[in-house]
């Protein structure tokens, strides 16, 4: 169950999802990345809206397998897995039965580990399914609209979307300014946490990370498309080299800068967090692919544009 739960974590998505963009289908990888980051952002916002407990917050005997300090409903694992694996199934990159099994097992693992109620998981599936439906319904129209915009305008759209998500989160936090975590919830969390540090709950960190990554990822994808795009085809050796080189950059930015940048509940720390995740998104969608092409590990999707530097809308 811990393994299936891991399939819904940020670590898993950071390690596996970039491979789709770098080594399989760049266009599909960009769209999946945007869908995932939107889902993660909305999940953090909705958790604050409902600010509901997890099972072990009410009864400490329900915990012990895994610890979580964010609110319970909707389950982020269930919501994101429905969006991600459902999208891959809809695009026929994963069999529908396999996608359904993975989605179910990830949700089941959260119940078994005592970090979610059944209603949390069901809500995550419903919200993830609704977001997936909307994305599939409007992705082509949205892409066509962006194609008519200049590169600067495309980046501005990404920035506005990113900041809008953070603004919504801050507004909800403002409305919850007089709300306090019930004492029994806090005591049970402390008992289950053991030696773990319990981070603050009513903070914008949960949405700052995906919103920052959304800006960097979408802006980088638009910029790379305007340059030449990425052709992810190549030999097996080239794809393996691309993956490990790209993941090395992910680890340096995500883990390395995470130890260098300041932490805490301050404007500076959240700004650094936002910039770190923006850089992470930029690396995945643009800087790593550009490095692959410079090292001859990949070819541009549009060689003529790569040579003439003529603009191409994403």
How far, in Å, CA of 157 to CA of 75, rounded?
A: 28
Q: Give the C-alpha separation, 298 to 282, whole Å.
A: 18
Closest CA to 291 of 233, 235, 234, 241: 241
End-to-end CA distance of the chain: 40
Element of type H or E holding 13: helix 10-23
The answer to whether 210 touches 37, Cβ cutoff 8 Å, is: yes
User: 138 to each of 134, 153, 155, 221, how far by Cα in Å?
Assistant: 6, 19, 19, 19
Per the CB < 8 A criterion, the answer to whether 5 and 113 are in contact is yes
Per the annotation, the verdict on 77 as an active-site residue is: yes
In the residue annotation, 116 being an active-site residue is answered as: yes
Contacts (Cβ under 8 Å, ≥6 apart) of 74: 43, 46, 47, 50, 120, 123, 124, 126, 127
Q: How far apart are CA 19 and CA 182, in angstroms?
A: 43
- Marked catalytic residue, from 51, 116, 180, 259: 116
Cβ neighbours of residue 277 closer than 8 Å, sequence gap 6 or more: 208, 209, 210, 211, 212, 213, 216
Catalytic residue, from 77, 259, 302, 306: name it. 77
- Give me the DSSP letters along 125-194: HHHHHHHHHHHHHHHHHHHHHHHTS-HHHHHHHHHHHHHHHHHHHHHHHHHTTT----HHHHHHHHHHHT
Catalytic residues: 77, 116
């Amino acid at each position: 169950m811990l393994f299936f739960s891991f399939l819904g974590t940020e670590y898993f998505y950071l390690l596996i999802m970039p491979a789709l963009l770098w080594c399989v289908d760049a266009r599909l990888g960009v769209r999946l990345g945007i869908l995932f980051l939107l889902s993660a952002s909305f999940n953090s916002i909705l958790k604050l809206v409902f600010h509901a407990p997890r099972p072990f917050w009410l009864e400490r005997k329900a915990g012990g397998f895994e610890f979580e300090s964010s609110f319970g409903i909707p389950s982020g694992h269930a919501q994101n897995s429905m969006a991600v694996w459902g999208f891959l199934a809809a695009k026929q990159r994963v069999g529908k039965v396999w996608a359904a099994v993975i989605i179910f097992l990830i949700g089941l693992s959260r119940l078994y580990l005592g970090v979610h109620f059944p209603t949390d998981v069901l809500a995550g599936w419903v919200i993830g399914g609704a977001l997936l439906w909307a994305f599939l319904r409007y992705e082509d129209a949205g892409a066509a609209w962006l194609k008519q915009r200049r590169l600067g305008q495309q980046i501005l759209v990404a920035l506005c979307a990113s900041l809008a998500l953070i603004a919504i989160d801050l507004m909800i936090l403002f409305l919850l300014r007089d709300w306090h975590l019930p004492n029994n919830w806090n005591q049970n969390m402390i008992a289950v946490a053991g030696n773990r540090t319990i981070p603050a709950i009513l903070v914008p960190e949960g949405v700052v990370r995906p919103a920052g990554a959304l800006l960097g990822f979408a802006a980088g994808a638009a910029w790379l498309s305007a340059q030449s795009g990425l052709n992810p085809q190549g030999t097996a050796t080239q794809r393996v080299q691309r993956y490990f080189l790209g993941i090395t950059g992910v680890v340096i930015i995500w883990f390395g800068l995470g130890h260098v940048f300041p932490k805490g509940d301050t404007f500076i720390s959240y700004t650094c967090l936002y910039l770190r995740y923006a850089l992470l998104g930029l690396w995945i969608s643009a800087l790593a692919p550009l490095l692959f092409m410079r090292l001859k590990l990949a070819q541009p999707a549009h060689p003529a544009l790569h040579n003439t530097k003529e603009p191409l809308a994403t």
